[in-house]
Homo-oligomer: A and B are copies of this chain.
Amino acid sequence: MDKKFQIHCEDGLARAGEFTTEHGTFSTPNFMPVGTKATVKGVDVERLKEVGTEITLVNTYHLWQRPGHELIRDLGGVHSFCNWHGPILSDSGGFQVFSLQEIREVTEQGVHFRSHVDGRKLFLTPELSIEIQEALGVDIAMVLDECPPGDWPHDKTAESLEMTHRWASRSLDSREKSTTNIFGITQGGCYQDLRTQSAEYLSTLPFDGMAIGGLSVGEPKEKMYEVLSYHPAQLPKDKIRYLMGVGTPQDIVEAVYRGVDLFDCVMPTRSGRFGRAFVGGEKPYINIRNAVHGRDLEPLDPECGCLCCRNYSRAYIHHLFRVEEMLGPQLLSIHNLVHYLDLIKSIQRAIREGRYEEMYKQEMDRWATADEKAA
């Protein structure tokens, strides 16, 4: 049993607990705002604390390219670099590299590709990924994996999975710092036998946590929910479970119900930059650019106490987007992060109070109504 992760209470498959790192403890379930290049876009660290962030995520690939992991290491590590002194998780860099599909070659040893910044030929291996993440000095490092497209056939996906498993083992072997928590990542697409095999194999390795990779990468939502219906429960019960790159508020409520503890997604900040605001009530989100908001003196969400809602009307934010003022994206990023992190707090409370099943059903009903209205 891993004492870093403590489960305080369970409600069905949902769990509430906490995970402790060298840079402090975060509660679970939780959501990590994405700080790709060591900044959550448009949000300074004081505001990042204010919205309720407990752990944040940085992208290894981007920091490796610029400013470089050695520079960050020389300057004292990523925490002091970006002045966020709570827990930080980094991805392996694999997802960004595998997005550059035209220019890569995958071998047993690692991935060949060219830098998107300067065209340099680069070679990322499981060992190098851990080395970079340890240079950054993150609290949680992810193993390099191959993330196969959702439309790959069974045999090709199975073959990829075998290599991903060998890479997972090599990643663990390359750890040099005892303070680095390394999380394994299951793959296997939407094939139940492969997901099961991945969960079983990776459960035998001494990871500090387990992640589910390769979901929300373009497959239909039903496919993802099908995997969630059996897969989280296949992972070791005493380890934290992290669903990578997911998702909408609905996805989070669904996944927690299936036993997931940790999430990250660019959605609140990215969709905020483009004018989408998550709100309570019957409509789960609005597009603030729509003309209907041009004379609306109400805040985005009357229930919300964020910087945006306590200061500004929909009419004003509509104006900011219409005239392309940077304050618009800043405010909506903050609002959406608060929406996500308030949801997380509600989820934690519901689990602790033994009424998560009830909350889950209410939320799913609300979303079903919303889908009907949208249809």
* Residues of A near any B CB (own CB < 8 A): 37-39, 41-46, 62, 66-67, 71, 74-76, 81-83, 294-295, 297, 307, 311-313, 315-316, 319-320, 322-323, 325-327, 329-331
CB distance A294 to B44 under 8 Å?
Answer: no
Taking A45-B311, A307-B44, A316-B81 as contacts, is the C-beta distance between A67 and B326 under 8 angstroms? no
Contacts of A76 in B (CB 8 A): 297
Taking A295-B75, A316-B82 as contacts, is the C-beta distance between A66 and B327 under 8 angstroms? no
Contacts of A75 in B (CB 8 A): 295, 297, 313, 315
Complex Cα gap A46–B47 (Å)? 11
Complex Cα gap A331–B323 (Å)? 21
28 cross-chain CB contacts under 8 A: A37-B325, A38-B316, A38-B319, A39-B320, A39-B327, A41-B326, A41-B327, A42-B327, A42-B330, A44-B307, A44-B311, A44-B327, A45-B311, A46-B307, A66-B319, A66-B322, A66-B323, A67-B322, A75-B295, A75-B313, A76-B297, A81-B313, A81-B316, A82-B316, A83-B311, A83-B312, A326-B326, A326-B329
Interchain nearest-CB distance for A117 vs B (Å): 9
Contacts of A37 in B (CB 8 A): 319-320, 323, 325
Contacts of A297 in B (CB 8 A): 75-76
Complex Cα gap A322–B71 (Å)? 14
Complex Cα gap A295–B307 (Å)? 33
Complex Cα gap A90–B286 (Å)? 33
Interchain nearest-CB distance for A46 vs B (Å): 7
CB distance B44 to A331 under 8 Å?
Answer: yes
